[in-house]
């Protein structure tokens, strides 16, 4: 018996891919989607459990969705990282849940919705202790949102020992897909309308190291050159120590990889980096930035930093602030440290008060706002190729898109005026105005 399913996907793009895979599996079995929970027979919540705020959002969303099932025969299925990490606590705390699936158990979504809701005292729990499965080119997948810009997950899990991160326990050891599998999916995505493919993994630059023939990210980049119709390839979550010269040359020489690199640096102070267990020094970071900037024309850099980590003295923070001010990265996100049970950092003395961490975060972001504004002003009057995403959230009368230096969801936008623009097309425009994070552009008229 077919059912209508309402899917709520929380967290990162990697989670979004899993949600799209679940939707694909459900569709293959004949089930349909419900846009709103009121119309659904089954509600699925794909949770995030990375940091405290994400856990709170996940719990709040589950409770909100549970309200739609009370007094009905609607079924509530909860999956993802929160379940992987806290399935016992969630099962006891929210008995309205019917089924719980771990982070790599999404393949069981079809079976989990078939039985009618029994409103058991406790949910059925299906959580593999050591996640092993992952999405590949054989997994049915239905893209949610614009088909012109999509995510492609090339590996799952992580082997890095970063002290603050719980991901290896949530997602398991690194498992890379084969080159052929990734290229096959890339071709399918382009056939479905993709112009931009965003490559994602927990550690993109370490792709393939555990596979028999040890393919590299550079090898993958060269393979993607042959995907006809693919315009842009974007690299997310690149780890600073794994940038070989071959990889940099592959990026610089590619006709499809845009000169945009997302490299989470987390800090610059050597003492903090050591406590974080990042495995490298500030010298490695500075050397990498010099190599990237000297070899890749028009490079746009994005990074994230953690403030308030145990051991971050005022001097260490000032070093980070000076680094951000001096290096003038194009996009920066600063996050306050979240103490996560089960990580090495959680065993350390929590010596930075929350209010101090929040103030430091504000300082970083205020400095970055000025940098971003100045960087964007340099684009005034320049021609840019922009990928049109669709009507802006500000007004349906204004279209929004992105040039290569803006990644979906996390960076600013280009607001398009004085033209007939269609979602998914690449257009050439001229920048007519700038703000702190966004651009305004119009077609060039003779």
DSSP 404-428: TT--TTTS--EEE-SS---TT-EEE
Contact 300, 308 (CB under 8 A): no
CATH 3.90.950.10 for domain 149-377, yes or no, is no
Surface-to-core class of residue 73, CB atoms within 10 Å of its CB (0-12 exposed, 13-18 middle, 19+ buried): exposed
The distance of Cα 95 from the centroid of its chain, to the nearest Å, equals: 30
Closest by CA to 243, choosing from 298, 211, 304, 286, is: 286
Contact 190, 143 (CB under 8 A): no
> Which residue pairs from 54-58 have beta carbons closer than 8 angstroms and sit at least 24 positions apart in sequence?
54/10, 54/11, 54/82, 55/82, 55/86, 57/10, 58/10, 58/11, 58/82
In percent, the amount of the chain with pLDDT more than 70 equals 98
Residues forming beta bridges with residue 6, ordered by sequence position:
43
Residues forming beta bridges with residue 199, ordered by sequence position:
152, 235
Average pLDDT for residues 249-260, to the nearest whole number?
97
Q: At what angle do helices 354-377 and 314-327 cross, to 10 degrees?
A: 10
Instruction: State the Cα torsion 155-156-157-162 to the nearest 10°.
Output: 50
**Taking the alpha carbons of 156, 157, 159, 165 in that order, is the dihedral positive or negative?**
positive
Average pLDDT for residues 154-164, to the nearest whole number?
92
Domain with CATH 3.40.50.12160 in the chain: 4-126
Q: Decide if pLDDT at 446 tops 50.
A: no
pLDDT digits (tens, 9 = 90+) for 103-141: 889 889 999 988 766 666 677 888 888 888 888 999 999
Domain with CATH 2.40.50.140 in the chain: 383-442
Which helix (H) or strand (E) segment is 399 a member of? strand 399-402
For 355, half-sphere exposure in the C-beta direction (CA atoms, 13 angstrom radius) is 0
Domain with CATH 3.80.30.20 in the chain: 149-377
Q: Which distant-in-sequence residues (6+ apart) come within 8 Å of 226 by Cβ? A: 183
pLDDT digits (tens, 9 = 90+) for 164-208: 998 888 888 999 999 999 999 999 999 999 999 999 999 999 999
Q: Range with the lowest mean pLDDT among 108-112, 233-237, 270-274, 324-328?
A: 108-112
Which helix (H) or strand (E) segment is 286 a member of? helix 282-295
pLDDT digits (tens, 9 = 90+) for 32-70: 999 999 999 999 999 998 888 889 999 999 999 999 998
Q: Which CATH number is 383-442's, of 2.40.50.140, 3.60.20.10, 2.30.30.100, 2.30.40.10? A: 2.40.50.140
Which helix (H) or strand (E) segment is 383 a member of? strand 383-391
Q: Decide if pLDDT at 335 tops 70.
A: yes
What is the DSSP pairing of strand 426-434 with strand 439-442? antiparallel
Superfamily the domain 4-126 falls into: Methylthiotransferase, N-terminal domain (3.40.50.12160)
Closest by CA to 356, choosing from 298, 312, 326, is: 312
What pLDDT is recorded for position 368?
97
pLDDT digits (tens, 9 = 90+) for 390-441: 998 887 778 999 999 999 999 999 999 988 899 999 999 999 999 999 999 9
């Amino acid at each position: 018996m077919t059912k209508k399913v309402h899917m709520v996907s929380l967290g990162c793009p990697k989670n979004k891919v899993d949600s799209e895979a679940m939707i694909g599996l459900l569709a293959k079995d004949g089930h349909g989607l419900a846009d709103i929970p009121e119309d659904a027979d089954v509600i699925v919540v794909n949770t995030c459990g990375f940091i405290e705020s994400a856990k709170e959002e996940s719990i709040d969303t589950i409770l909100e969705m549970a309200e739609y099932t009370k007094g009905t025969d609607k079924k509530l299925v909860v999956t993802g990282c929160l379940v992987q990490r806290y399935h016992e606590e969630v099962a006891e705390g929210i008995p309205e849940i019917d089924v719980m699936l771990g982070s790599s158990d999404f393949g069981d979504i079809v079976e989990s919705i078939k039985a009618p809701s029994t409103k058991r005292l406790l949910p059925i729990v299906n959580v593999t202790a050591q996640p092993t499965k992952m999405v590949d080119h054989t997994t049915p997948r239905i893209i949610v949102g614009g088909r012109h810009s999509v995510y492609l997950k090339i590996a799952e899990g992580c082997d890095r020992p970063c002290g603050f991160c719980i991901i290896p326990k949530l997602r398991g050891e690194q498992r890379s897909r084969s080159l052929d599998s990734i290229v096959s999916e890339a071709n399918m995505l382009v056939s479905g309308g993709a112009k931009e493919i965003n490559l994602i993994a927990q550690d993109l630059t370490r792709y393939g190291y555990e596979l028999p023939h040890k393919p590299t990210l550079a090898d993958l980049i060269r393979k993607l050159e042959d995907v006809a119709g693919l315009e842009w390839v974007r690299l997310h979550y690149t780890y600073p120590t794994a940038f070989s010269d071959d990889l940099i040359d592959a990026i610089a020489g590619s006709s499809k990889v845009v000169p945009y690199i997302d490299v989470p640096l987390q800090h610059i102070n050597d003492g903090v980096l050591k406590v974080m267990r990042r495995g490298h020094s500030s010298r490695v970071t500075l050397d990498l930035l010099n190599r990237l900037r000297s070899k890749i024309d028009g490079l746009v850099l994005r990074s994230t930093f953690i403030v308030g980590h145990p051991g971050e003295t005022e001097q260490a923070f000032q070093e980070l602030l000076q680094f951000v001010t001096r290096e003038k990265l194009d996009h920066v996100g600063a996050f306050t440290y979240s103490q996560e049970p089960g990580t090495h950092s959680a065993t350390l003395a929590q010596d930075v008060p929350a209010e101090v961490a929040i103030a430091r975060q504000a300082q970083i972001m205020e400095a970055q706002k000025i940098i971003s504004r100045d960087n964007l002003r340099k684009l005034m009057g320049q021609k840019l190729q922009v990928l049109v995403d669709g009507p802006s959230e500000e007004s349906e009368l204004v279209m929004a898109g992105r040039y290569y230096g803006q990644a979906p969801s996390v960076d600013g936008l280009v607001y398009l005026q004085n033209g007939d623009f269609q979602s998914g097309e690449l257009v050439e425009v001229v920048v007519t105005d700038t703000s702190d994070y966004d651009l305004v552009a119009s077609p060039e008229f003779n």
